[in-house]
Amino acid sequence: MERVLKGVKFSIDDARQGPAFFVLGVRKSGSSMFNRVCRLLAKYNSYNFVDVAGSMFSNNINVGLWNTDPSLNQLLLPGNVYGGFRNYPLSIAANPLFRDGKKVLLVRDPRDALVSEYFSNAYSHSVPSEKIAVAGGARQNILQQRQAALSTDIDSYVSQRAELMRATLVDYEPLLDDVNTKLFRYEDIIFNKGEMIEQIADHFGWSCKHKQVEAILGWVDVIPKVENPQQFIRKVTPGDHREKLSAMTLRHLDQVLRDVLATFGYH
């Protein structure tokens, strides 16, 4: 069946029963790779994957216009896989399908995520088509962020955005006590994606044959040999913030992020 939200069409499977599944992450934490893995696993297991955030973005709809909108609940039906989330989906948090659904969450050291966000916003982040005109839409937001990143230095930029990154992680904290949530840390899986794939499938109760794992790895296991600031996959090595940021900025980030660093196991 088709449902429309904010003018965006979504294909929802209304024939399947059982739990719903949710693919969650934090921006610049490997979320694009994570979602592609889950989309492919869903396909192999004959589940419908609903890319909520990706569809909204490509249609120039800002996250703030839908992430807290109760009408998002209209998309939720049993047996579907909902993904693309880079922020905690506040509007569906109380929905039984979300509350009781199987969830996977990918996080990253927020200091590395902030560095990645700087380079992404400055050079490589995709931009919705200008043909889709929405006042104050995602396109305008990305272009404004690009200008901000290009007009300042990396230390200033990440310092200014540290509290936003902290807030994103704080919103996700309730899931750490959720028995239906499987937490993945970028640092643990970026060089071990095969095990990650198997763990996702196991958590969702899905099957994944060896040849399917190998096929998925062929599409997502990209490790740049040299760093290229203008490429979407610029550098995957953990600890990048220690190379890119000044000692003063590192101290500032450690202060601003101290609670979420401790909560998610970063030091």
What digits encode the pLDDT tens for the residues 178-226? 999 999 999 998 888 999 999 999 999 999 999 998 889 887 776 655 5
The boundaries of the domain holding residue 126 are 2-263
Amino acid at 167: A
More confident residue, 219 or 8: 8
CA 195 to chain centre: 19
The number of distinct structural domains making up the chain is 1
Q: Which residues contact 257 (CB under 8 A, 6 or more apart)?
A: 110, 111, 162, 165, 166
Report the range of poorest mean pLDDT among 12-21, 82-91, 126-135, 210-219: 126-135
Mean pLDDT of 64-69: 85
SS3 label, residue 107: strand
CB atoms within 10 A of CB 204: 23
Mean pLDDT of 83-91: 93
**Residue closest to 21 by CA, chosen among 107, 115, 105:** 105
More confident residue, 73 or 5: 73
Query: Would you state the pLDDT for residue 148?
Result: 61
From residue 223, alpha-carbon distances to 1, 114, 193, 236 in Å are 39, 20, 11, 7
* CATH for 126: 3.40.50.300
DSSP 176: G
Confidence grade of residue 231 (pLDDT, cut at 50, 70, 90):
very low
d(CA 73, CA 67): 10
Q: Which two tokens stand for residue 56?
A: 């909204």
d(CA 64, CA 58): 15
**Residue closest to 163 by CA, chosen among 256, 84, 27:** 256
d(CA 133, CA 149): 23
Q: CA-based angle 173:122:192, to the nearest 5?
A: 50
d(CA 118, CA 104): 26
Q: Is the pLDDT score of 141 beyond 80?
A: no
Q: Which residues contact 234 (CB under 8 A, 6 or more apart)?
A: 116, 119, 120, 124, 224, 227, 228
